[in-house]
A = this chain, B = another copy of it.
Amino acid sequence: MPVNRQWLLARRPSGLVSADDFRWVESPVPVAGEGDVLVRNLYLSCDPTQRGWMAADSYLPAVKIGDVMRSFAVGEVVESRDPRFQPKELVQGLFGWQDYALARPGTPSAPSRIAPGVPVETAMGALGLTGQTAYFGLLDVGKPKPGETVVVSGAAGATGSAVGQIAKIKGCRAVGIAGGEAKCRYLLELGFDAAIDYKSEDVAKRLRATCPSGVDIYFDNVGGPVLDAALENLAMRGRVVLCGAISRYNDSIPTAGPRNYLSLLVRRGRMEGFIVLDYFPRSAEAVEALSGWVREGKLKERFDVQHGLENAPGALARLFKGENQGKQLIRIADPTGAPRGEG
């Protein structure tokens, strides 16, 4: 008889996330009630924002202690008591760190169908939350104009690499900031105009050199000293798009804010935050554009796949140690379904 292996949140994290923040349990597989879709998870998505969900209420309520750890996932429908979903279909949603999830349309765990012909990884990456974060954050919040210079941090990560490539598609210069020579080499392969290694280079100085007319848009995934370096180099009427602050997520007490924030005053700049979930009503628009760019080879991505539900805490921690090479996924099961049709 199958069991439902689960990682529950055991405590609020302090410092780097670790297996001790979670508790492993084996529960019965849940039973689908009227309107429910029972999903068997195949892949879990690792996203920096999960550290925030563990810690405190923010744009979503914090995960309760003792609840299954919240996570985006892709799974296969096992049983459906909603006529719109059929067994063996692939769906994605907030299914959590567990083998089986009850997904119910209209709730936070609602399933959404993966379009035929789209690889599961792509659905979780370039066409998923990651790609949509880059799409809406850069285009809607940053509002790039052709010829402008777009700088992105965490540039070798899933969102950052999409931001730089979309900037190029829109006729901008793209400069990426990442940690280490290998990641910087990857950025140049993707077509970035320049790459800055924050581990071995003076970021502010390199920004001055690579952005001689200043930074028109800075898409921030990291916060900390890199944000200050970008503010220092902001162009007149520059925009800072706040997407995340991975350098701060493991601090127990919030560290200092950006001491150069008055650049926003002197250069008439704007710093603005966004949450991709707000854009769900427009996600079809993003998926259409993004899938076109993927087909044309203009938007490339890579995946870093770890294996096994038992390794979920360690896979999540890879993000904060900068170890992941591209979109971090955890493969926890193989599909039982028939080969998928081409869309």
Q: Is there an interface contact between B259 and A254, defined as CB atoms closer than 8 Å?
A: yes
Q: Is there an interface contact between B268 and A275, defined as CB atoms closer than 8 Å?
A: yes
A258→B265 CA distance, assembly (Å): 14
Tell me if A274 is interfacial: C-beta within 8 Å of chain B: yes
Q: Is there an interface contact between A261 and B261, defined as CB atoms closer than 8 Å?
A: yes
Tell me if A5 is interfacial: C-beta within 8 Å of chain B: no
A127→B217 CA distance, assembly (Å): 35
Chain A interface, DSSP helix/strand/loop, else mixed: loop
Query: Copy number of this protein in the oligomer?
Result: 2
A217-271 residues at the B interface, CB under 8 angstroms: 223, 228, 242-245, 248, 254-271
Chain B residue at minimal CB-CB distance from A273:
B265
Q: A59 to chain B: which residues have CB within 8 Å?
A: 266
Instruction: For A259, give its contact among B256, B260, B265 (CB under 8 Å).
Output: B256
Q: Is there an interface contact between A270 and B271, defined as CB atoms closer than 8 Å?
A: yes
Q: A244 to chain B: which residues have CB within 8 Å?
A: 265
Tell me if A67 is interfacial: C-beta within 8 Å of chain B: no
Q: Is there an interface contact between A268 and B273, defined as CB atoms closer than 8 Å?
A: yes
Tell me if A278 is interfacial: C-beta within 8 Å of chain B: yes
A206→B59 CA distance, assembly (Å): 23
Q: Is there an interface contact between B273 and A269, defined as CB atoms closer than 8 Å?
A: yes
Q: A273 to chain B: which residues have CB within 8 Å?
A: 262-270
Q: A258 to chain B: which residues have CB within 8 Å?
A: 257-258, 261
Tell me the A residues contacting B by CB distance below 8 Å: 58-59, 223, 228, 242-245, 248, 254-275, 278
Q: List 18 A-B contacts (CB under 8 A).
A: A59-B266, A228-B257, A242-B262, A242-B265, A254-B260, A255-B259, A257-B261, A258-B261, A264-B271, A264-B272, A265-B273, A265-B274, A267-B273, A269-B272, A269-B273, A270-B272, A271-B271, A271-B272
A245-B262, A254-B259, A271-B272 provided; 18 other pairs, C-beta below 8 A? A58-B266, A223-B262, A242-B261, A242-B264, A245-B265, A248-B262, A255-B259, A257-B257, A257-B259, A261-B271, A262-B273, A264-B272, A265-B274, A265-B275, A268-B273, A268-B275, A269-B272, A270-B272
